[in-house]
Amino acid sequence: MTACASDEGEVDLPALKEPIANPATDVTDLSFTAGWNFVSTAKSYLLDVSLQSDFSSFISGYESLEVTGLRAEVTGLTPATQYYFRVKAVRESAESDFSNVVMVTTTGTLIDTDVFLKDKAANNFFVGAAVSTNRLSGKYNELLTTEFNSITAESEMKMRTIFLGPGNYNWTAPDALVNYATENNLNIHGHALVWHVEVPDWMTTFTGTDEEFEQIIEDYIKAVVTRYAGKITSWDVVNEAINDGGGIRNSIFLEKMGSDYIAKCFQWAREADPDALLFYNDYNTPEDLTKQNDVYAMIDELQSNNIPIDGIGLQMHISIDNPTRQQIQVDVDKAIERNLIVHFSELDIRVNPDGRQIVNSLTEERDFAQRLKYKEVVDLYNSIPDSFKYAITVWGIRDPESWIIDQYNRPDWPLLFDDSFDRKSAHIGFLEGLE
352 binds ligand XIL (CB under 6 A): no
99 binds ligand XIL (CB under 6 A): no
Closer CB to ligand XIL, 192 or 431, in the complex: 192
315 binds ligand XIL (CB under 6 A): yes
Residue, CB closest to ligand XIL: 403
Q: Is 255 a catalytic residue?
A: no
State the catalytic residue, choosing from 147, 154, 156, 240.
240
Closer CB to ligand XIL, 91 or 191, in the complex: 191
State the catalytic residue, choosing from 346, 376, 401, 432.
346
> Restricting to residues 271-300, which ones interact with ligand XIL according to CB under 6 A?
283
> CA 92, CA 44: separation in Å to the nearest integer?
9
Closer CB to ligand XIL, 48 or 294, in the complex: 294
Q: Is 346 a catalytic residue?
A: yes
Closer CB to ligand XIL, 253 or 283, in the complex: 283
CB of 157 to ligand XIL, least distance (A): 9
- Interaction pattern, residues 332-351, with ligand XIL; x per rule: CB under 6 A: --------------x-----
* Binder among 48, 154, 156, 310 for ligand XIL (CB under 6 A): 154
CB of 240 to ligand XIL, least distance (A): 6
The 3-state secondary structure of the chain reads: CCCCCCCCCCCCCCCCCCCCEEEEECCCCCCEEEEECCCCCCCEEEEEEECCCCCCCCCCCCCCEEECCCEEEECCCCCCCEEEEEEEEEECCEECCCCCCEEEECCCCCCCCCCCHHHHHCCCCEEEEEECHHHCCHHHHHHHCCCCCEEEECCCCCHHHHEEECCEECCHHHHHHHHHHHHCCCEEEEEEEEECCCCCHHHHCCCCCHHHHHHHHHHHHHHHHHHCCCCCCEEEEEECCECCCCCECCCHHHHHHCCCHHHHHHHHHHHHCCCCEEEEEECCCCCCHHHHHHHHHHHHHHHHCCCCCCEEEECCEEECCCCCHHHHHHHHHHHHHCCCEEEEEEEEEECCCCCCCCCCCCCHHHHHHHHHHHHHHHHHHHCCCHHHEEEEEECCCEHHHCCHHHHHCCCCCCCCECCCCCECHHHHHHHHHCC
Closer CB to ligand XIL, 59 or 394, in the complex: 394
* Binder among 28, 124, 155, 293 for ligand XIL (CB under 6 A): 155
Size, binding site for ligand XIL by CB under 6 A: 8
147 binds ligand XIL (CB under 6 A): no
367 binds ligand XIL (CB under 6 A): no
> Restricting to residues 37-76, which ones interact with ligand XIL according to CB under 6 A?
none
Closer CB to ligand XIL, 99 or 239, in the complex: 239
156 binds ligand XIL (CB under 6 A): no
* Binder among 55, 116, 388, 403 for ligand XIL (CB under 6 A): 403
239 binds ligand XIL (CB under 6 A): yes
Closer CB to ligand XIL, 79 or 396, in the complex: 396
> Restricting to residues 157-186, which ones interact with ligand XIL according to CB under 6 A?
none
> CA 52, CA 340: separation in Å to the nearest integer?
50
Which amino acid would we find at residue 318?
I
Annotated catalytic sites, by residue? 240, 346
Interacting residues toward ligand XIL by CB under 6 A: 154-155, 192, 239, 283, 315, 346, 403
